Structure 1
Amino acid sequence: MTHRILVFYGSYRSDRMGIRLADYVVKGLRARGEDVELIDAKAVGLPMLDRMYKEYPAGSAPEPMAALAGKIRAADAFVFVAGEYNWGMQPGLKNLTDHFLEEWFWRPAAIVSYSAGRLAGARSNFLWHGTLCEMGMVVISSTLSLGPIAETLTANGEPQGHAGQHLDGAFPRFADDLAWWAEAARSQRARKAPPY
């Protein structure tokens, strides 16, 4: 069964490397037959958070925000491609995420982290886990972490070297876990309305 999966990426840097990982995830999920869309925070261009989508009177939210709200509500699952900046989250991805709340509820989320160094975005990964849970998502236990990203993926998002082989080896379990939770959540939402 095909799932609608949104892959979120949030770097605003001019020489951003994480787009390699976002492209890899999108290609990998599409190859498995999933309906996947990359949501690039830089391309969406939401302002720094002033009002959440739900705080706008009906029909008055900026068009890119309203369009994204609809995509989030229609999705079965999410993947957050999370870079690490100074032991923390990328501000662009966090800002985009914070514009919404109820739209995220009752769906699984997966975290894919990266960094320029050997710790592979592990600290950002840890921070995102709690944040996504607080926002009403079920964060799956499978995760992908890679670094240094420049040595793991080529500019075209193709795995290279030992780290690239490890990524290719870990991806099927990651994707299986996400698909299982997407199916479980979709079935449960169809069977019984969420409690709130």
Structure 2
Amino acid sequence: MALKLHTIIASTRPGRVGLHVGRWFHEYALSHGGFDATLVDLADFNLPVYDEPHHPRLQKYEHEHTKRWAESVRGADAFVFVTPEYNYSPSPSLVNALDYVYLEWNYKPAGFVSYGGVSGGLRAAQAVKLQATALKLVTPPEGVPIPNVAQLIDKDRNFKSNDMIDLSAKTMLDELVKWATALKQMRG
């Protein structure tokens, strides 16, 4: 059975660049062939600021949006978060989505496609790794930073990659396959 990768577009704001970067990465992941890849748009879940009355580790979800999100997270063996950098941090929507569930994240690898200005979103990716580790996600160091992302969006709003970004994506996906294969044993 093929490993399942969810590429999660973490920005939910109108006019977001993440939608275009996420679509590109999803297509790249499909062509890579290491995973059965699914594109997940966090905006489709419409998660409010965490509103469950019970701690996520209890899995006593009362709201339909939480149940849908938990099912999505549960269905993946690995994740790639496509995240912008806002004020040296990840998007608030990503931080909130990570907090919504707990056991569903455990013992799965997560990579980051980060984007922004000169830093390529690296500060956001590093900041969210602390939260991911607390959820028992494994975050290998390989990632895909995209500096000056606005220069890589064409007039039709398509993201145009380059050799450096493609090599980073391949390297990260290769590592995620290894980690997902090994960690699947831990989940039984």
One-letter amino acid of the counterpart of residue 92, structure 2:
P
Counterpart of 2:65 in structure 1 is 64
- Residue 41 of structure 1 corresponds to 42
The answer to which of 122-131 and 33-42 deviates more is: 33-42
Deviations along 1:98-126, one digit per CA (max 9) or x if unpaired, are 111111001111111111x1111111011
- The answer to whether the 8 A contact 1:8-1:93 is kept is no
Question: 2:160 corresponds to which residue?
Answer: 158
Runs of 4+ residues deviating >4 angstroms: 55-58
Secondary structure in structure 2 of the residue aligned to 1:183: helix
Q: In 2 relative to 1, CA 102–57 (structure 1 residues): closer, same or farther, beyond 3 Å? A: closer
Distance in 1, Cα, partners of 2:171 & 2:68: 31
Cα deviation per residue 1:147-172 (whole Å; 9 max; x = unaligned)? 2112234422332xxxx221012221
| Aligned positions, number | 184
Does residue 185 (structure 1) correspond to residue 187 (structure 2)? The answer is no
**Could you tell me whether the CA contact under 8 Å between 2:57 and 2:103 is conserved in 1?**
no
- In the alignment, the residues of structure 2 paired with residue 39 and residue 61 of structure 1 have an alpha-carbon distance, to the nearest angstrom, of 22
Deviation, 1:16, is: 0.8
Kept in 2, the 8 Å contact 1:53–1:61? The answer is no
Return the alpha-carbon distance in structure 1 between the equivalents of residues 101 and 83 of structure 2.
Answer: 18
Query: Unpaired segments of 5 or more residues in structure 2?
Result: none
- Are the structure 2 counterparts of residues 57 and 92 from structure 1 closer, same or farther at C-alpha, using a change threshold of 3 Å? closer
- Tell me if structure 2 keeps the 8 A contact 1:111–1:128: no
d(CA) in 1 for partners of 2:141, 2:48: 32
CA contact (8 A) 1:53 1:66 kept: no
Distance 1:41 1:137 in 2: 18
1:112-131 pair list within 5 angstroms: 112-115=113-116, 117-131=117-131
Deviates further, 119-128 or 1-10:
1-10
In the alignment, is the contact (CA less than 8 A) between 2:45 and 2:68 conserved in 1?
Answer: no
* Partner Cα distance (2:81, 2:140) in 1: 12
RMSD (Å) for aligned C-alpha atoms: 2.0
Which residue type is aligned with residue 110 of structure 1?
A: G
Structure 1 residues 10, 188: CA separation in 2 closer, same or farther (over 3 Å shift)? closer
1:1-196 equivalences in 2 (<5 Å): 2-33=2-33, 34-51=35-52, 54=56, 58=60, 61-115=62-116, 117-154=117-154, 155-159=157-161, 164-190=162-188
Letter in 1 for 2:72: K
Deviation at 1:94, TM superposition (A): 1.3
Quick one: distance in 1 between partners of 2:50 and 2:185? 33
3-state DSSP of counterpart to 1:85: coil
Give the partner amino acid of 2:31. Answer: A
TM-score of the two chains, using structure 1 as the length reference: 0.85
Could you say if the C-alpha distance between residues 184 and 16 of structure 1 is closer, same or farther in structure 2, counting changes exceeding 3 Å? same
Task: Normalising by structure 2, report the TM-score.
Answer: 0.88
Gaps of 5+ in 1: 191-196
Percent sequence identity over aligned pairs: 27
CA drift of 1:46 comes to: 1.0
